[in-house]
Amino acid sequence: MEEKVEQTYLYDFYGELLNAHQRKIYEDFVFNDLSLSEIADEEGISRQGVHDMVKRCTRMLEGYEQKLHLIQKFKSVKQKIEQIQELAIRFHENCDDTMISEIKKISDQILEEL
């Protein structure tokens, strides 16, 4: 399951960098959950050809992530926003002003990452 989630992130961030044929096969495998044989029949290529294409696309997308780190930055910002939401709830419940400085600190970190 974790691999499919990672493939989804890769495609969401970098999928447009694949050509139309690569996108179609990758989408069928990752999003439409078609088997290699089903995709091969649909595309008129061998099962091994589909397997190689999915592997090649995954390596390409992983290469983009290694260079650009967009997914890593996204996950970091998402985690920090969750922290801010948690602090805001605690501030609302306790009216603790120290929460505001923590929220400011985290929001500054987000701005630095962007």
Q: What is the pLDDT of residues 35-49, one digit of tens each?
A: 999 999 999 999 999
pTM of this structure = 0.78
The token duo for 7 is 């493939």
Determine the 3-state secondary structure of 1 from DSSP: coil
Residue 86 has pLDDT above 90, yes or no: no
Q: What is the pLDDT of residues 23-81, one digit of tens each?
A: 999 999 999 999 999 999 999 999 999 999 999 999 999 999 999 999 999 999 899 88
Q: Which of 18, 10, 26, 114 is nearest to 71 (CA)?
A: 10
CA distance to 77, 90, 104, per residue, from 33 (Å): 29, 41, 43
